A and B are shown apart, each in its own frame.
Chain A
């Protein structure tokens, strides 16, 4: 059985999102005392998470 195209594309997209979020969190964790760096990372996380939780799959895969 082959995977439906939508699911495969969605999987690849979300994997990139998850990797980007992990990179951002892991970058910030050792820099908690650097207010500017940590806050920038948190802003980036918020932006990415908001995008994902909007759930506009057609836009992502379009």
Chain B
């Protein structure tokens, strides 16, 4: 297990596999940060229920753009240009979850509750990361993601509590995003996932992170009076 810390100036001296994995993770993280606003700004900014909600949509997108900027900066320090992800069509995003569009407030709420939570999980993977320039980014970005999660969770809980059609709509949104959420962790048996852990770039394997996520969100969903969807239904990565 690799236990050293690597600075940007030493990056090119590292094993090619390490360099490849760091480049890959920075590219995917940058793509995921900007992928969120691409999903919801166009539809949700004009149609959120209240002016306050609209401003929160704008602030959330702003923070995600800033997260992209910070990861792009770290990537730039090793000569990696990730700016191409700014203009990627949604259908070409690295992670399937971002290949679509959010068109309902229920979807926006559940996205914050479930998918931004995965954003937090992915960021927590980098705590203690062997590639040292990533770690200083984490406290502020994780703190902002916690705000997105809290807002999404509050909205989801309120929509569920209204009962009737509102509850049915939020359950349907939950059913859609829960599957995508579990898939975001990738294959449980993944050689690459193990190499990330070996090189100290990530802390947990895909399977470990997914299990922890399930343990966190299932009781949360039940506490809202909603049903936990079938964890295997429609999944692409088991």
Contacts and interface: CB of A to CB of B under 8 A. Distances in A.
- Pair from one complex: yes
A3 B87 contact: no
B79 interface: yes
Given A1-B78, A7-B72, A46-B45, A28 B55 contact: yes
Given A3-B77, A42-B54, A49 B61 contact: yes
Contact of B87 (A42, A46, A50, A54): A54
Interface in B51-76: 51-52, 54-55, 58-59, 61-62, 65-66, 68-69, 72-73, 75-76
A14 B76 CA distance: 14
Contacts of B76: 3-4, 6-8, 10-11
Interface string B13-44: 00000000000000000000010011001100
A25 B59 contact: yes
A11 B46 contact: no
A24 B185 CA distance: 36
B86 A57 contact: yes
B154 interface: no
Contact of A49 (B8, B41, B80): B41
Overall SS of chain B's interface: helix
B128 to A, nearest CB: 23
B87 A11 contact: no
Given A14-B65, A22-B59, A25-B59, A4 B81 contact: yes
B215 interface: no
Interface string B73-105: 101111111010011100000000000000000
Given A1-B8, A3-B76, A42 B45 contact: yes
Given A25-B59, A57-B87, A11 B41 contact: no
Contact of B77 (A1, A28, A29): A1
Contacts of A14: 65-66, 68-69, 72
Interface of B: 8-9, 11-12, 34, 37-38, 41-42, 45-46, 51-52, 54-55, 58-59, 61-62, 65-66, 68-69, 72-73, 75-81, 83, 86-88
17 contacts: A1-B77, A3-B73, A3-B76, A4-B81, A18-B69, A22-B62, A38-B55, A41-B55, A42-B55, A45-B62, A46-B46, A49-B61, A52-B65, A53-B34, A53-B38, A53-B86, A57-B83
Query: Which 7 pairs of residues, A with B, have the shortest CB-CB distance?
Result: A7-B76, A55-B87, A55-B86, A45-B58, A21-B62, A14-B69, A18-B66
Given A22-B59, A28-B55, A50-B42, 8 more contacts: A1-B77, A4-B81, A7-B76, A18-B66, A21-B62, A46-B45, A53-B37, A53-B86
